[in-house]
Chains A and B, each alone.
Chain A
């Protein structure tokens, strides 16, 4: 029996010893990865060649055929709410006859998943939908395949990159409960939001881009130094409560548990208001923060035609559905699409934020942890 135990240990040790430590950054199967990449790249070139010169309708039909040849299946990793994406996916499946596997997770989880799969030389995702800064990050890690598509023609200039495209624009718009904060006390500026509502304020634990963009705005437009701008947030945090989830923020405000949420999405505010909940966000605080999300074909996609088909569909047909969901489509071909004109807004500079991501992330982490310091418990 003892020998058996020793033998088992030895086998286990051997089994685990053949890999690099989990925390190392070296991809453990680079050959496999390169092979997949080359495959996908070649395939995409073939596809592009075939589609050249075709008009819109013919292009769509040919692409559908090619995707069907691949097996008529698509694996999509995305951050969009399941309910909203489900409508799009159902429509896509109906239009094209594809079957979609949608893996929905938070933006950080998707990042983690993609990076870990890449490290292991494992291919799963065909297309990816992520928030702006994450798209830039993934792009820099070589996760996306370069794609040229006429579907990107109606996007704002900033929204077209070699490998990914803006699909929707999320707008951070503070929301408050009129029963707790009547119109006369409603916020007009971000300084109001951060400073006026002791104990009533909800903030989100992961809104690093929002934070970075506002700090830069305060410095550039309001004449503050960076320290002063950051101090605003620190003071707010000491009297605020942090939650994980943008919709949850609105839900708690609607319930009357808190008076105001600092960074929910405008389309969520509108949705709750429509349902009859006591949620107000207009007249909107100025300027609102607009953060694009994007869509791309994965560089090791097993079904590149399907992925390209989805990207093109999402940038055209998929934009109209967004309006009914109160979301802001990026395509200017849709009435009201592109950067919102009704509200003063600043667009998150995703490249710049990503360049300094560690610094902003650390700063914001400290701010989040400040909420425990002076919270009063009656």
Chain B
């Protein structure tokens, strides 16, 4: 046990601290030693206050939007008898799969002030255009992009919850509102705070949305400023580092708060040695309207952008949808994509990297989560914070830090696929950890204790009790990391080399070259493939581990 745990500790520590170390080093030191001049430079920029406010507004707005939608969806799907569960479940997850850059561009196709499809409809109804190139536009797009992540996290937590507590409350005469407020919410609080934290941090360091929608409008956030410093030449690493360190401080506070709130982990355990049989809450006359609302969300937010991207993939150049535009449709873009140099190799690289990092991360974080949640080892909060640390480093800065680390370290991985592997491991470790530990929180210790008392070794108990119980959370995490690593861009863009391109980089190049319609074609292909992948992974996942899934509660004895 010590061996495994020790190895995990070393790996986690190395992954988390090295890029961070370089970041701090480069920000607080220059040739002359310790310095604060980079902070002075950043703070003295004339619109710093505005940038900070905009960043908070953007992050706050997107987080609130994502939490509201994600929690509502999770509760409806996991806990109630809402109709069309499968469709809504699958549909809600789609934005996780679609690369951010594609989502943003699809929204531009829909809501560009003049040519956007929805705006043209609105214009015919005499409604003002909604300009996507604005702060509200940014909040909308980012919030919609994050909602599925909230949904996954909350669904995993709700699924592992013992419903008998809710049932007792219902039987005691409480109405649904009271039950949710006073029983459900407190129990899923760790997951809620984890979700809030992740969304807050995620949106604070979002890249594609502020860069693509904000810059044309002159709406700057921390990340678009960082990008601006790193994008030009020479790279202004100092101010970029200063901004990053400020972001880091914010999220450090968040992590600390989270640790304190969730210290009393036993209070949240509900998957215990007793059997549990969740029973969906009946919605009654609300079933119809709520199903329609959930379906409406899926159609408007998920299907529509994809459909427009699909349509654009057949156009020779981006033009507003009209009868005239349909005359020019062809398969040319697809042909061009398949003829594109390196496309086969990029696809291969993406898959290899995705699968290996997802697998490695989920195993690593399963052990780490066990260490943090289950043991009483002094200093385990260090591991918890270490696994969470990379989340505070914006993808761009992570890329630069990794570049520096591995250009100069003796480990010869620069110029190979390994540097991307390490980049992904570092970047997605926090997400894996959250899935693993959220689920770990809700598993009681008696199951393991019984196993150990019956003579099982630590490894046996871990492998045969803990892992299977964790599986819903681990699978959710695995799927997430796989899919998200395939769409990852901001780090990969800096550390890839000729021969080691990934698909996300191909998309970026198409964007840089202004080939919007070819981008739409590649995007369509990617989304279809990723959807298939995710579907497959989900099917496999629901066979392993506990029989219960979000959609099919176990039959009660007597129902069979």
Contact = CB atoms under 8 A, between A and B. Distances in A.
A90 B134 CA distance: 43
A372 B377 contact: no
A15 B408 CA distance: 11
Interface string B299-343: 000000000000000001111100000001000000010001100
A254 to B, nearest CB: 5
Contact of B403 (A8, A116, A241, A251): A116
Contacts of A11: 10
Contacts of B317: 251, 254-255, 272, 275, 277
A115 B234 contact: yes
Given A8-B9, A205-B215, A251-B514, A256 B115 contact: yes
Contacts of B341: 82, 86, 89-90, 102
Contacts of A51: none
A89 B340 CA distance: 12
Contacts of B128: 378
Contact of A242 (B216, B401, B498, B513): B216
Given A251-B317, A251-B318, A378-B128, A361 B232 contact: yes
B388 interface: no
A75 B498 CA distance: 8
Nearest to A119: B407
Interface stretch (A16-24, A154-162, A226-234): A16-24
Contacts of B233: 107-108, 111-112, 134
B131 A377 contact: yes
Interface in B360-413: 377-380, 382, 401, 403-405, 407-409
Nearest to B31: A24
Contacts of B114: 256-257
Contacts of B284: none
A2 interface: yes
Contacts of A29: 408
A212 B309 CA distance: 38
Given A23-B30, A122-B414, A378-B131, A16 B22 contact: yes
A116 B414 CA distance: 12
A371 B318 contact: no
A249 interface: yes
B513 A254 contact: no
Interface string A236-264: 00000111111111111011110000000
B217 A276 contact: no
A55 interface: no
Given A116-B403, A243-B216, A26 B319 contact: no
A324 interface: no
A111 to B, nearest CB: 5
Nearest to B315: A255
Interface string A299-321: 00000000000000000000000
B139 to A, nearest CB: 14
Contact of A21 (B18, B25, B382): B25
B458 interface: no
A378 B129 contact: yes
Contacts of B328: 276
B26 A23 contact: yes
B409 A377 contact: no
B514 A104 contact: no
B29 to A, nearest CB: 5
Contacts of B18: 12, 15-16
A100 B493 CA distance: 20
Interface string A103-120: 110111001100111011
Contacts of A255: 112, 115, 317-320
Nearest to B10: A8
A333 interface: no
B509 interface: yes
B238 interface: yes
A28 B409 CA distance: 11
Contact of B514 (A26, A106, A245): A245
Given A101-B498, A254-B317, A108 B232 contact: yes
B407 A120 contact: yes
Contact of A206 (B21, B26, B216, B232): B232
B512 interface: yes
Nearest to A374: B218
Given A16-B18, A251-B516, A372-B218, A28 B30 contact: no
Given A23-B237, A246-B514, A377-B134, 16 more contacts: A2-B379, A9-B17, A21-B29, A22-B25, A23-B26, A81-B513, A83-B336, A86-B341, A102-B498, A122-B407, A241-B216, A244-B215, A245-B514, A272-B317, A275-B316, A371-B218
25 contacts: A12-B13, A16-B18, A21-B30, A21-B31, A83-B513, A86-B341, A90-B341, A108-B231, A112-B234, A112-B235, A116-B407, A241-B216, A243-B216, A244-B215, A246-B514, A249-B514, A250-B514, A251-B317, A256-B115, A275-B316, A276-B316, A277-B319, A371-B217, A371-B218, A377-B131
